[in-house]
Amino acid sequence: MLNFAANLTWLFQEWPFLDRFAAAADAGFTAVEYLFPYDHPPEEIARRLARHNLKQVLFNLAPGNFAGGDRGIATFPERRDEFRAAIATGLDYARATATPCLHLMAGAASGPEALACYRDSIKFTCEAAAKEGIDILIEPINTCDIPGYLMSDFGLAERLITELALPNFWLQFDIYHRQRLHGEVTKGLEALLPITRHMQIASAPFRREPTTGELDDRHVLKLVERLGYTGYIGCEYGPANGTLAGLGWMQGL
């Protein structure tokens, strides 16, 4: 059985953020994720989760100044103190909301120094998160969506996870980004599912509802189920004509 989580940053934008928890539950979701919680107190988010019997499965560690263009600061040695403070804050939110997985964004950077800093940042984050029983994920993201993003290759993600061999360090496999970056989605799933802790989906290339793009998402999801994946699949897409009107693709599965 496939388990879907509503991404509350992308879905239910017809409601203010804190009201999206109720909207997701009313629409039949039992789990949620989103990009960032930091505009709201962790205790308030925890109350919304409990009130609507929702499980929170993922959010992103703070990426620096997102509004100012930051897409992660794990690759910048000169921002190490800021990075470590962001990790502490993220873990506070995860603890309050019983969130099992956190996505560590890399940043728009390149070169050996940036990669070395990224590796050190991963080690630091995984060690801090392990004390809380939390998994840390990295997600390859295509460089059309985030120009210059360091973690833009599934091969690099696999190498880092294999080489660092940290027990709470895993892959976040986004089907949309895989298609945009490399294609060969089913081949990638078959090879990488053993190191995958969380998945996300949107149609490619326009990031709308699954089953509406160039990829046969139904076939892909049937493969995911056949391969025995039991984690959550985050619905991280922009609805074409409103969230509720676009949820029919899930019923077809």
Cβ-Cβ contacts under 8 Å for 247 (sequence gap 6 or more): 27
Number of alpha carbons in the 13 Å side-chain half-sphere of residue 247? 14
Whole-number Å distance between alpha carbons of 195 and 159: 11
Q: Which of 139, 190, 209, 225 is catalytic?
A: 139
Q: Which of 14, 44, 113, 236 is catalytic?
A: 236
Provide the β-strand partners of residue 136: 102, 169
- Asked if 113 is an active-site residue, the reply is no
- The two structure tokens encoding residue 131: 């004390």
Whole-number Å distance between alpha carbons of 25 and 23: 5
Provide the β-strand partners of residue 198: 172
**What angle in degrees, to the nearest 10, is found between the helix axes of 80-97 and 112-130?**
30
Helix (H) or strand (E) run with residue 244 in it: none
| 4-41 burial: b if 16+ Cβ within 10 Å, else e | bbbbbbbbbeeeebeebbebbbeeebebbbbbbbbeee
- Asked if 236 is an active-site residue, the reply is yes
- The catalytic site residues sit at 139, 236
